[in-house]
Amino acid sequence: MQTIFLYILRGVMRLLLFIVGSARFFGQENIPAKGPFIIVTNHMSKADAPLLFLALPVPPMRIRFFAGEKWAKNIVYGPLMKAGGAVYINRGEVDRKALKEAIEAIESGEVFGLAPEGTRSRVGALIQAKDGAAYLASRTNAPLLPVAVVNTDVVGENFKHLRRTRLVCHIGQPIQLPDLGRRARTSDLAAYTHYIMVHIAGMLPSQYHGYYKDSPALAALLRGEDPWPYCLQAEGVQP
């Protein structure tokens, strides 16, 4: 039943994409055949999730994800989101119950997707990320799959003016959080988050770099160097 639902959902997404424009996908060969892994992506629009879903292989892969608690009681979207893999979370606070559910899902071999920024960017570029993705990865040791979506921020405006949008989705190679040689502390999460975000930024056009545009770690990554030492330095973390 779940597979049928995912096929139907994929069909709906393809129809919506046809209506608003077209899409190009790069790096789909980097997607692991199965979980556990954590998808991390930039977030600029409601169009991000459908684009990401269409980037995944067929048969459709179920992605668990965080959704605001307010949707749980919605008679239309609530059941659909739960069937789609939602983990409901109280926004604006540390929801330990939701984090525990996410960790259990990943440890059981599922795929989890989230935007480290925690909310949609309203500035058309990356904003400072929160530590949720880094926390999940450090607790589960699951690989992270960095994804960068481009042009989803202009879909709405283009549609209003009957213009089609060319969407782009870049999928990077899976990464592991660097080993600190000890159990990760809360203070280490900022460096891990920086590491995750520069891998996303590295696949985006420069105008999307936003908060991370002057990051030495991003510059190192674009030069083909290891960005991790620069992430530690930027966040003041002692290895």
CATH no. for residue 104? 3.40.1130.10
Of 68-77, 108-117, 214-223, minimum mean pLDDT range: 68-77
Counted domains in the chain: 1
Beta strands 111-114 and 37-41: pairing type? parallel
Selection from 227, 238, 221, 153 nearest residue 187 by Cα: 238
Residue 110: its pLDDT value, please? 94
Longest CA–CA span in the chain (Å) reads 55
pLDDT surpasses 80 at 159: yes
- Residue pair 117/129 in contact (Cβ under 8 Å)? The answer is yes
- E strand map for the chain: 21-26, 37-41, 63-68, 86-89, 111-114, 144-150, 165-171
Residue range 24-41: mean pLDDT, rounded: 96
- Residue pair 125/104 in contact (Cβ under 8 Å)? The answer is no
Task: Classify the C-alpha dihedral 125-139-34-81 as positive or negative.
Answer: negative
pLDDT surpasses 70 at 77: no
Range of the domain at 222: 2-235
Q: Measure the CA–CA gap between 50 and 164, rounded to whole angstroms.
A: 16
- Chain segment 85-127, per-residue pLDDT in tens: 888 888 777 788 999 999 999 999 999 999 999 989 999 999 9
Cα 101 to the chain's mean position, in Å? 18
pTM for the structure as a whole: 0.91
Residue 76: its pLDDT value, please? 65
Residue range 132-150: mean pLDDT, rounded: 96
Residue 195: its pLDDT value, please? 98
Rounded to whole angstroms, what are the CA distances from 128 to 81, 100, 210?
A: 27, 24, 9
Binning pLDDT at 50, 70 and 90, where does residue 1 land? Answer: low
Binning pLDDT at 50, 70 and 90, where does residue 231 land? Answer: very high
User: What is the rounded end-to-end Cα distance, in angstroms, of the chain?
Assistant: 48
